[in-house]
Chain A
Amino acid sequence: MYTQGLNIEAGDKSIPLEDRNSALMQRFQSRIDAEEKVEPTDWMPEGYRKTLIRQISQHAHSEIVGMLPEGNWITRAPSLRRKMILLAKVQDEGGHGLYLYSAAETLGISRAELIDQLLTGKAKYSSIFNYPTPTWADVGAIGWLVDGAAIMNQVPLCRCSYGPYARAMIRVCKEESFHQRQGYEIMIALSQGTAEQKRMAQEALNRWWWPSLMMFGPSDAASLHSSQNMAWKIKRVSNDELRQKFVDVTVPQAEFLGLTVPDPDLRWNGETGHYEFGEIDWTEFNQVLAGNGPCNRDRMKKRRKAHDDGAWVREAALAHAEKRRARQAMTAAAAE
């Protein structure tokens, strides 16, 4: 999910700004301008390659870490129907992670390196997954708001100039709509339920509203490298534009539920045809990115443990495959 991998922090020099005037660069740019897709074996600027590895891998990591907050509720889903749905959704997130890792690998980085970058903290994942899911209503709010924001972000990525990423995003987007609808259905059930259930739904909206708006990343004025990524057609719509679109479609959905969006400054502007909303707490956003959100340490601890606990399985499977290959070769030799 999400394009936070495209938001470069000030002072980060890992992605070079390119000399736009070289002949190769001009040819590359004219292909992009003509809406041609860039494929793995094509020449591409080093900055383009690095930006994409960073963006696609952080997107993949987000899908993988994103399984944790919801996976937390699989054993406690309130009915068999909800449990089957949640299992399918969490499995989808794992699948999305795998499509995206494969797309990143086409840029010349190995799966092991990518996983290493996540587990050592070198690579980030979306800020949103560092928030807790204390009640069942949070599962509903994640589907409705977090997956809703993800769809806003991901639909333009289907037109990304890098072919393998665009193709992976088309698959992801086809599957994502179910995620949002099942979440909203949970919210409908709760908000039409008992007073206590409605309160749960309201509290979950209170918890997830602002972090969902933060998913779109810093405001356009504060986004470094943004114009380069737009010119390369990696990113096609700005953070603020996507955020506004999300608010515009989501507020009426909250009204339908009879819930209140936790923003006293929120109001409809009939002239612009858009909702105006309050200032985002960027200090909180930066703290979460820096590793100090409510669940950052717990999420990474769980990922590392899962990786370490699975090490013997990965090694045993390889050893078994090699043993079987050797045995087949021996049988074949004996038969000759």
Chain B
Amino acid sequence: MTLTRRTFVGAAGGTVMLAGLPKVRAADETPRRGGVLRAATSEEPFAPAFDVHKVDSLLTTRIGYLAYNGLVNVNERREIEPDLAESWEQPDALTYIFKLRKGVLFHDGTEFDADAVKFNLERIINPETASPKRADFAVIKTIDVVDKYTVKLHLDHPFAPLLGYMRRSYFGIMSPKAITEQMGQDPLKRSIGTGPFKFVSYTRGDKVILERFDKYFGTPAWLDGIEIRIMPEQSTQFAALQTGSLDYMIQTSPSFAEQMKYNPDLQVLSAPSTIWDFLAFNVMRAPFTDKRVRQAFSMALDREAMAKGVYRGYAKAAQGALSSGFSPYFRDNGDIPFQTYDPDRAKALLKEADFPFQSELRFDTFTERPWGQIGDAIADQISALGVKLRIEKPDFNTFAQYFYGTKEYWFGNSSMTGGGADPDELMYKQFVTGEVYNINNYTNPEVDKLLKDARTENDVEKRVDLYNKANRMLMEECCVAFLVYPDLVEGMRANVHGYRFRDESAGTFDECWLS
């Protein structure tokens, strides 16, 4: 998932928790049809919006969620439930059979069927599409259309996370007719799905307009439409929310969420996420080749203070790669000392490692909030150990160039955002040797083996074990210091009802209604 500004407050997940809800909602209130939800976002959708096979930006995917479906969907407990596939079975580790829903229409009037599934999968897998999601589907060797409503997939090797990648917020099934006929045209013209809303227009730098799709196969949306305004300044969004010219602030930053709690016209919803903020060490470069230095730096960081100070309480101190928001996979690994604040032990470890206190060490962060503030906190706390720092703080794009690109850095902070349907999405890509997000240059054959085994294991309990074993090793080895799990925070007017959380990349305001 592309890390963009405010990715951290991405979308949804975990158990719904209503923080600071101004009033208790009457349980018997029945949904009302009608009205347009006026939402605002501070980021421009990524090009070519909303061809969701070609983009992996969280915001773009979240808006795409309103117009597309997947084969499956993910609920707030991170469990997989049916979407366009009514049921599925796995006769053996290498075969998936999906039974599709009948009578589903795309917004252009064509019918959704097994051929459409085949077309979409082939499009993502085809290297010419240059889909950033390709690696997650490339395991599929053949796609057989058994009959109009049955698809059979044969895999090259067992791959347990596959079902998670078939989810609505990631797969996004598009109309084959629109793609074939509209390729090379305005991407919005080929942005045709089966979802509860269809795209009407997208004016760059201004707004995205969607309207209800009346022939939706599920419960038709309560809203007549959704208007998403692109407003770079959250202070403007907040002002507009107060005046009622806006109903919902997508990805509300914690400082505004805090102010909203005291306004009876507004409400803040939040839920734990599977995102983690981290401090990465380049393990190929001294002094971070020494595990003790990494452990010392990790123990110098006061995670509770970051959660309270930077995130205003909308975050939890992290202990490892699996947050409590990932309920099926979470196990308490708090007994491992290296991911908790212990400055005395940190100092002792540095002394033991014969740390070169005289020389200056470069630290990389970037200006965008909240990472820039987390970076300031890190710099403060590491300096407190007596380490001399030279801080580099450019904009995200410059930072990404050497942090994610050439990996020419010593240590720096960022966050990891998956979708949150399967731990594989987060852990495999960041910690397996040579993978795309392995910015640490980290290589550990044991971790590699555990994470690879978890991909081929289909038994959930066994997978939980494998991920937790790998997690404990990572916590011990400290190739990253896990900092906090930011909550998903959504601020809206009190008359918006029906918002629910799912995974991070789902834009789950499709079920909202206005009173």
Whether both chains belong to one complex is answered with: no
Measured CB to CB, the residues of A under 8 A from B are: none
